[in-house]
Each structure stands twice: as structure tokens, then as C-alpha cells.
């Protein structure tokens, strides 16, 4: 029996070896055929005129700071012919002196020879730039060209363009850990109660100069007794975990104008970074600091635009006017037990444009407050959160006084169905009021106490373009046109965010409607 089994196993082993050998032979034949096919494909190349197809004819980089590299852009080069093409040379027109660098399918050489593209196929080209010092205040443009030479034709090309900008660089030299409290953040075991960051102290003898922008690493810090005065036309670009920190007893004074607003934004301004929220920290106005003034500012791409901690012992407070705050991953303005007066504010593309917590004193006129759903937050946001308490460790909340909370001729709109979150303890004693506002609320609040006179509910304001950050009124049929209360459009609020004199009756929001016939006379701020 064992002999039969052994004989059978031997025959089976021989058959297995035969099958293995046959399989190996088939594999070798397949790879040989594939190799021959590939060689055959590149044996003949398209001749004569072959016009390569480029996915982009111009690669542009916007605001690249000197000494800092850009993001990497890419485009494709397609061979429209049926046969393969051999590109004799791919190179930068400026050669080794070029500030641009290219990568053609993994090859980073300045000049690349005999680049082959199969018939109907494409290859990727990657481009970045590092701008040299220009020794000038204004932005400057540099050019180059990627050249493609083949078949004795005139070189085909893609244009490369970058705007360079010289800057002053400010870097932190120390670190600190401070108490931190965000009323909209997690509570309980997952709560964050402190924050550690790097900073440097601003020299009070050094005035801010608007000629060149500032690139800031860490928090620019103003110590007690000092005032940071920022003149019209100044530009600040912040890295991650950076911002401005006004310590107790110090002040911030931003003095922008209609034609020369002051800009606070992120370092990266090219590619997708241009409109990416949360790239830097905040303008932090510590408790017991102020009073502060912000006029004609543009604040973009931060976590929180203006953050005010509790201010009870000193005059404190913030006056903010004619200002755009946009693309915030958290709040536009966050105030804790403080005082804020604002008019002609356009705070948009933020999770919570106005977070006014733990009481305080507030007066806003002609504001456009538009929340935006942030996918990672797990919840829809509100244009306004207003409350007068802090939830302490015990069950009973700690209640703080709210002297005033008045909102007039303003828009509260956004991606969620409840744009007002009014959350009060002892609500009967709260002096809050909304005068002639447009509000998105699927569940209407109690209007019997006269807290919402002249308000419009759940209508589309018909902005020009929310995606393009253009919150002017698009058409005369907008529900905002002529629906504001003139009593709250006096003084400085008699002109809108673009300097247009308000009509009588005026429009709700930060912008007055301007017809197409007269729009050319009232150009909005140019996009920074």
C-alpha cells in the first residue's frame, strides 16, 4: 500500500513540476511579449507638426514672500497623436538663473532631453518658485517660460508668473502658558483650559511702517501701558499659531481708511491656501485692556478674528467699524464679559460670526453676519450666540450682568436653520432687542415682548456672490432694500462699508444697494 501511495505521490509531484514549469514558461512568454510590445510602441515616433496640449497655458503664483517658497502647482502635457512623441528638450527659458523649478515625471533637471509621451497619453509637470529679494516696497512680478522642443518645430511653451513681495520678518523668542477658555469648545474631561504659545515683545519705540508687509512668527505682544498703533495700508501676514496679543493695560488702535484698509491674514496666499480658514490664531485683546479701536480692517483665514477677554475693572471695550472679517474656523468676534460697539461690519464664512458670552454690553448697527457650516465641527453654526452665564463645575450656572444687547438694521443668515442662539439665565431682566433685522430662524422666537420690531424672517437676502465673499446686495428686489430703520443709520453709520451714502429709508446690512448704472462710482474694496 505504501509503495502505491509513494508511486502516486511521485507521479503527482512530476505532474506538479510540469505544471510549475508550464506556468513559468507562460509568464516568461507574457513578459517577453509585453516587452516587445512596449519596444514596438516606441519604435516609431510621430513626425511633422505635433501640437502638444497643455491643461494650463499659464501658471500663476500670487503673493510669494521673498525667501519663502511657494506651493507646488501642476499641469499636464498631452500627446494628441496616435504614435508616441519624443520631446527633444524640456527646459526653463532663463536657465539656471530662473527662480522657478520644474519636475517632469520625477526628473528635476534644468534641461531634460528625449522625454517620451505615448500616443494619446499625458505626463505631469510640477512647478514651484522661490522669489529673490526685490529691494522694493510694492509687489513685483517675475516671469519665465517652460519650453518644449520637438520635430524641428518652434518651441511650444507654458508661461510662469509669480508676484513677489519683500517683507519684514518678525520671530518669537520666548514661550508662555496661559489660561484659556472658549465658551463654544468642549466641556468636561475633554476641555482645554490652557494654551501654550510662542511670542515676542513689540518695541514701543518702533512705529509700524506701512511701506512693507510684516511676516509674523508667534504672537506680536504689546505690554501694559503701551499702544500698538497700526496706520492705514499696513499688512500683517501670520504663520500658524501666531497673532497679536494685547496684554492687560495695553491698547490696540487700527487706523485703516476706505482706500487703504489694514490687512491681517495668513502667510500662504497661493493655491488653495488663499481661502483656507484657521491658518493663524487671533487678535487677542486680554482682559482689563483697552479701550481698543479698529477702523477699516480686513481680517482673513484665522481661527478667531477679534477675541476679547473679560474687562470689568477698567474702561476697556472695543469700537470696530467698516471692517470685514471672513474665513474664520471659529469666531468672527468673541467677547467675554466685555463691551463692543460696531457698525458696517461684514463678518462671513465663520462658524460663529458673533459669539457674545457671559453678559456684557453690545450695540451693533448695519452688520452682515453670515455663518458657514464647518464640516469638521460636527454641527451647524449660528450667526449670533448671545448668553449671560458660564456653566461652572456645579450644576448651577454663574450668571453675569448684561447691560445692553442691541442689534439694528443687520443680517443674520447662514447655512443652518437657527441663526440666533439666545441662551439666557434670568431672561426676564435682559435688555436685548433686534431692530429691523433680517433673520433666518426656522423656529421663530417669542415676539410678543416687542424684542424684534420690524424684523424680516427667513427670506433670501440675495447677495451678489457668497462664494466670492461679495455680500453686496445684488438686486433691487432683495428684501434688504429700503427696509432698515433710519433712526439707526445716523452719524458714521450714515455711509455704508464702501463709503456709499445711505438712502432714506436705508438698506439692511453693511452695504447699501447701488444700481448697475451707478455702481462704477462706488467700487468696493479690492480683494486683498
- pLDDT band at 484, cuts 50/70/90? very high
Mean pLDDT of the chain: 86
127-136, 263-272, 344-353, 372-381: least confidently modelled range: 372-381
Comparing 497 with 400, the larger pLDDT belongs to 497
Residues 254 and 381 in one domain: yes
Cα–Cα–Cα angle for 324, 329, 332, rounded to 5 degrees:
35
Q: Is the pLDDT of residue 412 over 90?
A: yes
Each residue's pLDDT tens digit, 336-368 = 999 999 999 999 999 999 999 998 999 999 999
Rounded CA-CA distance 67/15 in Å is: 70
Q: Is residue 415 assigned to a domain? A: yes
| CB-based contacts of 518-525 (< 8 A; 24+ apart in sequence) | 522/498, 523/498, 524/470, 524/472, 524/497, 524/498, 525/258, 525/261, 525/298, 525/324, 525/497, 525/498
Q: Is the pLDDT of residue 124 over 90?
A: yes
Please choose, from the candidates 295, 387, 279, 286, the residue with its C-alpha nearest in 3D space to the C-alpha of residue 328.
279
- pLDDT band at 527, cuts 50/70/90? very low
Residues 6+ apart with CB under 8 A from 395: none
Residues 6+ apart with CB under 8 A from 223: 201, 202, 204, 247, 249, 250
Rounded CA-CA distance 146/75 in Å is: 12
Rounded CA-CA distance 78/97 in Å is: 28
- pLDDT band at 19, cuts 50/70/90? very low
Q: Is residue 2 assigned to a domain? A: no
Q: What is the mean pLDDT of residues 269-283?
A: 88
> Quick one: DSSP state of residue 486?
G
* Percent with pLDDT over 90 in the chain: 62
pLDDT at 428: 57
Residues 262 and 115 in one domain: no
Rounded CA-CA distance 87/170 in Å is: 46
Residue 125 belongs to a domain with what CATH number? 2.60.40.10
Residues 159 and 181 in one domain: no
Comparing 350 with 376, the larger pLDDT belongs to 350
Comparing 94 with 314, the larger pLDDT belongs to 94
Residues 127 and 185 in one domain: no
Each residue's pLDDT tens digit, 48-104 = 899 999 999 999 988 888 878 788 999 999 999 999 999 999 999 999 999 999 999
For 363-408, give the DSSP string: EEEEEEEEE---GGGSS---SEEEESEE--SSSSPEE--EEEEEEE
pLDDT at 226: 96
Q: Is residue 3 assigned to a domain? A: no
Residues 150 and 192 in one domain: no
Rounded CA-CA distance 404/406 in Å is: 6
Residues 176 and 161 in one domain: no
Rounded CA-CA distance 54/58 in Å is: 9
pLDDT at 90: 96
Residues 213 and 152 in one domain: no
- pLDDT band at 163, cuts 50/70/90? confident
CB atoms within 10 A of CB 80: 13
Which of 426, 443, 459 is the last residue before a domain boundary?
459
- pLDDT band at 182, cuts 50/70/90? confident
Q: What is the mean pLDDT of residues 429-435?
A: 86
Rounded CA-CA distance 502/490 in Å is: 9
Residue 198 near residue 218, CB atoms below 8 Å: yes
Q: Is the pLDDT of residue 5 over 60?
A: no
Burial class (CB in 10 A: 0-12, 13-18, 19+), 342: buried
Which of 165, 189, 214 is the last residue before a domain boundary?
165
Please choose, from the candidates 277, 330, 326, 282, the residue with its C-alpha nearest in 3D space to the C-alpha of residue 308.
282
Residues 223 and 330 in one domain: yes
Q: Is residue 411 assigned to a domain? A: yes
Rounded CA-CA distance 140/236 in Å is: 18
Q: Is residue 526 assigned to a domain? A: no
33 backbone dihedrals φ, ψ, rounded to 5°: -65, -40
Q: Is the pLDDT of residue 16 over 60?
A: no
Residues 139 and 180 in one domain: no
Comparing 132 with 147, the larger pLDDT belongs to 147
Residues 191 and 88 in one domain: no
Q: Is residue 493 assigned to a domain? A: no
Structural domain containing residue 117:
53-165
203 backbone dihedrals φ, ψ, rounded to 5°: -80, 115
DSSP helix/strand/coil, 115: strand
Rounded CA-CA distance 183/390 in Å is: 8
Taking the chain, what is the end-to-end CA distance rounded to the nearest angstrom? 92
Beta bridge partners of 503: none
Q: What is the mean pLDDT of residues 132-144?
A: 84
Q: How many domains does the chain have?
A: 2
Each residue's pLDDT tens digit, 212-251 = 999 999 999 999 999 999 999 999 999 999 999 999 999 9
Q: What is the mean pLDDT of residues 507-511?
A: 98
pLDDT at 404: 92
Residue 122 near residue 97, CB atoms below 8 Å: no
Q: Is the pLDDT of residue 487 over 50?
A: yes
Which H or E run includes 87?
strand 85-92
485692556: which residue's cell? 289
Distances (CA, A) of 216 to 255, 266, 277, 403, 478: 20, 9, 17, 37, 41
Q: Is residue 496 assigned to a domain? A: no
Q: Is the pLDDT of residue 196 over 50?
A: yes
Strands (E), 173-282: 174-179, 194-201, 214-217, 219-222, 227-231, 235-238, 243-246, 251-255, 262-266
Q: Is residue 38 assigned to a domain? A: no
Which of 150, 165, 180 is the last residue before a domain boundary?
165
CB atoms within 10 A of CB 14: 10
Beta bridge partners of 164: 64, 140
Burial class (CB in 10 A: 0-12, 13-18, 19+), 523: exposed
- pLDDT band at 26, cuts 50/70/90? low
DSSP helix/strand/coil, 32: helix
* Percent with pLDDT over 70 in the chain: 84
Residues 6+ apart with CB under 8 A from 446: none
Residues 180 and 260 in one domain: yes
pTM (predicted TM-score): 0.81
Residues 83 and 133 in one domain: yes
Assigned C-alpha cell, 181: 477658555
Burial class (CB in 10 A: 0-12, 13-18, 19+), 44: exposed
Amino acid at each position: 500500500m505504501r509503495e502505491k501511495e509513494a508511486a502516486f505521490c511521485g507521479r503527482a509531484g512530476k505532474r506538479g513540476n510540469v505544471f510549475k514549469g508550464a506556468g513559468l514558461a507562460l509568464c516568461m512568454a507574457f513578459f517577453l511579449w509585453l516587452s516587445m510590445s512596449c519596444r514596438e510602441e516606441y519604435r516609431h515616433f510621430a513626425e511633422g507638426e505635433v501640437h502638444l496640449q497643455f491643461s494650463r497655458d499659464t501658471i500663476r503664483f500670487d503673493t510669494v514672500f521673498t525667501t519663502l517658497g511657494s506651493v507646488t502647482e501642476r499641469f499636464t502635457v498631452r500627446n494628441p497623436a496616435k504614435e508616441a512623441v519624443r520631446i527633444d528638450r524640456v527646459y526653463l527659458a532663463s536657465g539656471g538663473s530662473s527662480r522657478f523649478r520644474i519636475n517632469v515625471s520625477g526628473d528635476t533637471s534644468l534641461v531634460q532631453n528625449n522625454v517620451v509621451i505615448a500616443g494619446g497619453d499625458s505626463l505631469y509637470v510640477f512647478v514651484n518658485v522661490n522669489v529673490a529679494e526685490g529691494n522694493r516696497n510694492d509687489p513685483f512680478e517675475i516671469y519665465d517660460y517652460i519650453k518644449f522642443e520637438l520635430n524641428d518645430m518652434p518651441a511650444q511653451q507654458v508661461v510662469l508668473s509669480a508676484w513677489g513681495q519683500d517683507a519684514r520678518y518678525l520671530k518669537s523668542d520666548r514661550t508662555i502658558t496661559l489660561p484659556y477658555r472658549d465658551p463654544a469648545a468642549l466641556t468636561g474631561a475633554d476641555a482645554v483650559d490652557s494654551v501654550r504659545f510662542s511670542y515676542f515683545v513689540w518695541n514701543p519705540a518702533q512705529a509700524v511702517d506701512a511701506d512693507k508687509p510684516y511676516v509674523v512668527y508667534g504672537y506680536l505682544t504689546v505690554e501694559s501701558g503701551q499702544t500698538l498703533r497700526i496706520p492705514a495700508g499696513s499688512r500683517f501676514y501670520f504663520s500658524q499659531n501666531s497673532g497679536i496679543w494685547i496684554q492687560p493695560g495695553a491698547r490696540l488702535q487700527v487706523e485703516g481708511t476706505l482706500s487703504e484698509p489694514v490687512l491681517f491674514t495668513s502667510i500662504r496666499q497661493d493655491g488653495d491656501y488663499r481661502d483656507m480658514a484657521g491658518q493663524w490664531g487671533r487678535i487677542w485683546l486680554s482682559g482689563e485692556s483697552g479701550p481698543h479701536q479698529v477702523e477699516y480692517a480686513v481680517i482673513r483665514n484665522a481661527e478667531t478674528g477679534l477675541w476679547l477677554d473679560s474687562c470689568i475693572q477698567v474702561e476697556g471695550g472695543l469700537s470696530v467699524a467698516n471692517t470685514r472679517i471672513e474665513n474664520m474656523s471659529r469666531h468672527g468676534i468673541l467677547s467675554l464679559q466685555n463691551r463692543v460697539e460696531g457698525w458696517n461690519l461684514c463678518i462671513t464664512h465663520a462658524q460663529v460670526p458673533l459669539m457674545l458670552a457671559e453678559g456684557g454690553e453690545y450695540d451693533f448697527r448695519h452688520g452682515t453676519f453670515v455663518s458657514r457650516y464647518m464640516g469638521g465641527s460636527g454641527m451647524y453654526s449660528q450667526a449670533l450666540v448671545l448668553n449671560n452665564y458660564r456653566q461652572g463645575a456645579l450644576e448651577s450656572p454663574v450668571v453675569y450682568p448684561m447691560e445692553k444687547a442691541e442689534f439694528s438694521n443687520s443680517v443674520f443668515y447662514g447655512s443652518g436653520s437657527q441663526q440666533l442662539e439666545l441662551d439666557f439665565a434670568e431672561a426676564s431682566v435682559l435688555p436685548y432687542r433686534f431692530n429691523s433685522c433680517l433673520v433666518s430662524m426656522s423656529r421663530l422666537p417669542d415676539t410678543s415682548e416687542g424684542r424684534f420690531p420690524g424684523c424680516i424672517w427667513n427670506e433670501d437676502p440675495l447677495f451678489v456672490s457668497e462664494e466670492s465673499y461679495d455680500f453686496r446686495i445684488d438686486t433691487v428686489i432683495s428684501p434688504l432694500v429700503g427696509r432698515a430703520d433710519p433712526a439707526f443709520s445716523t452719524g458714521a453709520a450714515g455711509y455704508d462699508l464702501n463709503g456709499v451714502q445711505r438712502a432714506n429709508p436705508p438698506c439692511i446690512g453693511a452695504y447699501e444697494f447701488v444700481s448697475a448704472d451707478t455702481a462704477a462710482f462706488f467700487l468696493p474694496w479690492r480683494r486683498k
